[in-house]
Copies of this chain bind each other. A is one copy, B any other.
Amino acid sequence: MNQRTQEILSWYESDNPGTRTNLARLLNHGKLAGTGRFVILPVDQGFEHGPARSFAANVLGYNPHYHFELALEAGCNAYAAPLGFLEAGAGKYAGRIPLILKLNNHDVLYDEKDPASAVTGSVKDALRLGCVAIGFTIYPGSAHSTLMYQQLRELSEEAKAYGLAVVVWSYPRGSGLSKEGETAIDVVAYAAQIAAQLGAHVIKVKLPTAHLEQAAAKKVYEAEQVPIKTLSERVRHVVQSSFDGRRIVIFSGGAKSDDKNVFEEARAIRDGGGFGSIIGRNSFQRPRADAIKFLHTIIGIYSGERP
């Protein structure tokens, strides 16, 4: 185990060896093994957005085995999905790639202003399926954020006792925020901090814009001249907001987008000290060969030297 991996593990000093073992498994799998960087394949869009919106562009994606194979062939660190998708492949692919069981999910058939995901799996499910971590989404800014924080706390406490790691999707949403505010730098940094304070080992946020949502925060950002002009600076600020970089922070790729754009973002994440990307739609919504090439390019970007 190289020094960087050991350094990262050293941050999780209150966790038992089981949890650190599973974090090490995440750090040591795939093409980025040992670099302290991550590219994770998440496929929960079937539940979150519906099957056709997720898989019609590349119909192979309807098949749960496809994503295991995509993650494997691309050399991702891990594959994250809801219960059904993991149950449908965890037997065949046992031991071949670290798995993250997403324990809550939300659909848009009833799409409320203040969303709260349903708990759709258990820590024991994660263990019987051989996962290294549980995943959980919180919506800071929602009227139901308290409920989700508390569900996370309970699942997280249980997961840590059993030696699993905890990955938190922290996505600001709800009546507390404007649409633009959901990706405002002050809000995203705040969401990362909340996840870290809730005990997340790995934090996933969206890439932040330079918008400042909250007046009280805005005043400080301006007074203290926090550098947030470039994407790279904003990534650095989010990482700083996650215990000064002592928690793993990865960034979501978002909706399908222009490749050049995604690569640019990956470089900004890398240069800002981010730990990597979690890329779903941009990878599984294109032909397999394309997807592999695309993911290899991103992995190549992260394989570069740390700035």
Contacts and interface: CB of A to CB of B under 8 A. Distances in A.
Interface of A: 1, 5, 9, 11, 13-25, 27-28, 44, 46-47, 49-53, 55-57, 59, 62-64, 82-92, 94-96, 105, 107-112, 114, 116-122, 124-125, 127-131, 140-143, 145-147, 149-150, 153, 157, 161-163, 172, 174-177, 186-187, 189-194, 196-200, 214, 216-217, 220-221, 224, 226, 237, 240-241, 243-244, 246-247
Given A13-B89, A84-B198, A224-B52, A240 B59 contact: yes
Nearest to A200: B84
Contacts of A57: 220, 224
Contact of A153 (B120, B150, B176, B246): B120
A18 B216 CA distance: 37
A28 B23 CA distance: 18
Residue of A91, A121, A177 with most chain B CB atoms under a 10 A cut-off: A91
A1 B157 contact: no
B17 A130 contact: yes
Given A9-B95, A64-B243, A110-B176, 11 more contacts: A9-B94, A11-B88, A24-B95, A50-B186, A50-B189, A85-B243, A110-B145, A112-B143, A122-B153, A127-B127, A128-B161
Contacts of A56: 220-221, 224, 226
Contacts of A200: 84
A197 B20 contact: no
A107 B145 contact: yes
Given A57-B224, A118-B150, A244-B64, A17 B94 contact: yes
Contacts of A59: 240
Nearest to A22: B130
Contacts of A127: 18, 127, 161-163
25 contacts: A14-B16, A14-B17, A14-B86, A18-B130, A18-B131, A21-B130, A23-B94, A27-B95, A28-B95, A50-B186, A51-B189, A52-B217, A52-B241, A56-B226, A85-B197, A107-B190, A109-B177, A109-B187, A110-B143, A110-B175, A119-B149, A120-B197, A127-B161, A161-B161, A162-B162
B197 A84 contact: yes
Contacts of A24: 94-96
A226 to B, nearest CB: 5
A40 to B, nearest CB: 17
Contacts of A247: 84, 88
Contacts of A63: 243-244, 246
Which of A14, A25, A117, A143: most chain B Cβ within 10 A? A14
Contact of A193 (B51, B114, B163): B51
B21 A94 contact: yes
A217 B107 CA distance: 13
B120 A82 contact: no
B88 A246 contact: yes
